[in-house]
Amino acid sequence: MNDWEPTIKEGASVTASSDFAAAREDAVEVAKPKKVKTKPVNDPVNSPAHYTAGGIETIEYIKAKLSPEEFIGYLKGNVIKYTSRAGKKQDTIQDLEKAQWYMNRQIKELKGEVK
């Protein structure tokens, strides 16, 4: 049986009926498709593959090594870095998205939304 093949519910009787939809709904159980795990796609802004080597995001390691105030300074510095270099390297939009990511992370940290 594949994931989409309907099965007759135990104890159900299927007869000809003018209300086929009701009879089908009453007697047939349609299997739901199984969730398929997909390999994560490299996201150069939110989670670059080269930042997760060793099983931990580099930013989480940095956070663990700095005081809360130092970590906020680190985030601010990255906002400055990416906005300052936007347009001077290969991908202006990507640099601005990275600056935005660090700004959003700073806001979440200050609101206490990140563990």
pLDDT digits (tens, 9 = 90+) for 38-73: 555 667 777 666 666 677 888 999 999 999 999 999
> Would residue 7 count as lying in a domain?
yes
Domain shared by 60 and 105, yes or no: yes
Q: Which residues constitute the domain of residue 96?
A: 49-111
Q: Residue 106's pLDDT is what?
A: 97
Identify the bridge partners of residue 47 per DSSP, sorted by sequence position.
Answer: 43
| Chain segment 79-97, per-residue pLDDT in tens | 999 999 999 978 899 999 9
Count of domains in the chain? 2
In a domain, 81, yes or no: yes
Q: What DSSP character marks residue 32?
A: P
On whether residue 59 sits in a domain, the answer given is: yes
What pLDDT score does 115 carry? 77
Residues 26 and 59 in one domain: no
H or E element, residue 81:
helix 68-85
* 21 and 65 inside one domain: no
32 & 55 share domain: no
Q: What is the pLDDT of residues 1-44, one digit of tens each?
A: 455 555 566 666 655 555 555 555 555 555 555 665 555 566 77
Same structural domain, 24 and 60: no
This prediction's pTM: 0.57
SS3 of 38-78: CCCCCECCCECHHHCCCCCCHHHHHHHHCCHHHHHHHHHHH
Output the pLDDT for position 104.
97
Task: Give pLDDT, residue 11.
Answer: 63
Residue 29 domain flag: yes
Only one residue has tokens 């700095």, namely 66
- Which residue(s) pair with 7 in the sheet? 29
Residue 42 counted as domain residue: no
